[in-house]
Structure 1
């Protein structure tokens, strides 16, 4: 029997590249060339997509100071992913490009227009990572005192997406006729206002961009809380999820698929990719030595705690490293908090931080062959659908790590028949639904 194949994405952001390690690139990748090289290496390895994460503030959640964030380049500086998505789309041919854009920070018309434009530039390979934003500091950058409650944010996002879909469909697919005999570019009878009036948004329409190759972008979402999972199950083509052990991942996938089926969707149309950070070496001992170097570095714990503080709006500097965390809730990213904390596991905060090096699934430290075997075992146990590769926790992306994954791990997976060796679909949605 042929092994079950799975999908691969890469999770990154428009932040500094590695600048202060023996294998460094400079730390100023702002013209985008580093990311073009990055994306082209991923495309040679036949990744489904590169996902450009984003946030809209410089945090001070950890210790009520921006010091840790700016000193370690955590969450800042961070540049806008949309122009980078255009650059990457124009410099690749087959791989999808996904950009994060918040429903809090764009009027729906502007976001729909931007996504349509990017899908044209990417020739049908663009995806929108839908976020509602989870940080009060971000809300204050957009004129609010604080974020609305999570339920309200998702209610607004539901309406926001519904409005965008109507805008993308305000042009019939064949509205652009280019009729030279009648000198007609577009048939006005096939472009109509939508006159949308909802609880939160209203918009006349129609959109003023031509229909894009996919019609609508691929929808990517990270739903962790029950309400977030419901939103993702009803909307997403691909879901990015934290990893917190095989049992947790399987339960998460089963839950989302059940919600999708209940909403009338085919669960197989949703590809759930679990976030992992393999650590590779030519020998197992070498990989384990890398793992040790990462989590024993003097600034490792501060970086982890500052990062989790930022995405949850909880100050983790106030907790005892050698005690269990008390049960916590947040108006930020509850799913990420739950995956990090592993409630009821009996693990101390220090132990939880160390587990973050490879992002929550064990056995991903070793040679490319060892890690490829383990990823296959994990995928079989969970049931699919794939993995979202990212850098080991607290490190900054380098060409060295990119090459280890794209030229070491992926060929090992390809030899096992686990991942694709060529692209068959022409759009990102087709690539995701190939298997």
Structure 2
């Protein structure tokens, strides 16, 4: 009898010590003590409950939930629901929290319902560049949830296109429907979309795609995607139905106030049977952490190539000098930009700037004895360019259920310089 009481007291001391370690966030040491008690006393509720709590705090949600489900009582039921909630299984968590009359359960249920309330978003985006070309996109998106893990977005809007040199403008409508399905225990998100757009040449075509995103850890994910989308950012796209089918795979890491990184590689198949590949990556390190502010700095690099260039000759002019004529040539990318072996690297901070090199195309001869050249030839050459990007954004509530978001950007690439803006008004339902 005395030995039994000694064992009970010893187990109680171990559990008390494990609880102290857990509250001090020494989770591995606490887990070790709880498992030691359970090896000798598998029926100990206090040890099972304590171990389940430690596993929950360690992020081992599946095992924590299994232990909580093996116990009776409202505290164990709340623990099991919390494991589902923190895993991202909002459907299960919502159902189980609804049956528990405790403050934390009521608060968590309210958070889930608030996050899955849906919204209505009106967005206007614009681009003004030195091709010269202006394009804008306006849309209204209605979002709703059929359950906490299934989101539906329906968007309708139009593109406005203005080829300034030729005085041609078009307004082209589009519509899309998107579904995002989260499988929390598989750490997988499946996003599908389908829609249609009318192109400037009058053709109507499909757009949409499929994306699989799997969380590899709490702060990193792997994404594989395939989609078909319009290409309307080039002035000559106003004459055709420029589009691309893209297959890509990427990895990214994000952690608040920690280092950020990402890599992506993909293949593009264009509407005119051209194709190309690309690879890009970036890394950012937090160099200043102060209060709520973190300042990152780092770098990025990219390599792109297209099978065939779409840079073609548009016009030739000449200026007479004595007995010779100096020729000038004007060309453009037909439908879309076709990079030829560009490689660039950038230093990133609040301002991004860098240096790159690619293969460009020119035309010859430079001069001759006739007003226009008899035989025009192509010259492919390598050039160096200096890309940079400046951007700023603002997001703020303007009423109880409304929020406005505004972003502006100035970017210079090897192809052109552009000013872009985006403004959204969001109503949370």
- TM-score norm. by structure 2 comes to 0.27
- Greater fraction of residues in helix: 1
Which of these two proteins has the greater Rg computed from alpha carbons? 2
